[in-house]
Amino acid sequence: MSEEAEFWGEETEFWGVVVPRGPAHQWLYRTAPLPWPGPLVPNGKPVPYYPLFSSKEKAEEFVRERGQELMVRERQQLVEEALKNIRRIYRDELPDDHYVNLDGGGLVTWGEL
């Protein structure tokens, strides 16, 4: 296990913005972490990742900051809805080879945390 993985450990709580997933009866959780478009790799394809946070407060800050970037009339409503959709993300929700960005620290695979 890497030093970083030992630091974060299995007991660490991760938080993220979630979206409904369906059909709900087929999933352990009725919502799933929201993927974010990522940077382009050399072949020109984006690498999607999940923005995750070490606390609910950091997730809320992320949502509010991104909400300020929106250029739509319903900005406040979208931010409020996203804030309601922040919850703890559990280890079994993402495959180990999917990318995450914890607290804006850069891309790593979920299994590396």
The pLDDT score that the predictor gives to residue 29 is 55
Query: Total domain count for the chain?
Result: 1
User: What are the tens digits of pLDDT across the range 51-84?
Assistant: 999 999 999 999 998 888 877 778 888 889 889 9
Q: Where does the pLDDT of residue 89 fall: very low under 50, low under 70, confident under 90, or very high at 90 and above?
A: very high
Q: Where does the pLDDT of residue 2 fall: very low under 50, low under 70, confident under 90, or very high at 90 and above?
A: very low
Domain that holds residue 13: 3-112
Report d(CA 65, CA 111) in Å as an integer.
28
Q: Which candidate, 61, 43, 59, places its Cα nearest to that of 51?
A: 59
Q: Name the pTM for this structure.
A: 0.73
User: What are the tens digits of pLDDT across the range 97-106?
Assistant: 888 999 999 8
The lowest-confidence range among 21-35, 39-53, 56-70 is 21-35
CA distances from 28 to 31, 43, 59, 70 (A): 9, 35, 22, 32
Count CB-CB contacts under 10 A for residue 32.
17
Are the C-beta atoms of 106 and 51 separated by less than 8 Å?
no
Q: Which two tokens stand for residue 56?
A: 């609910």
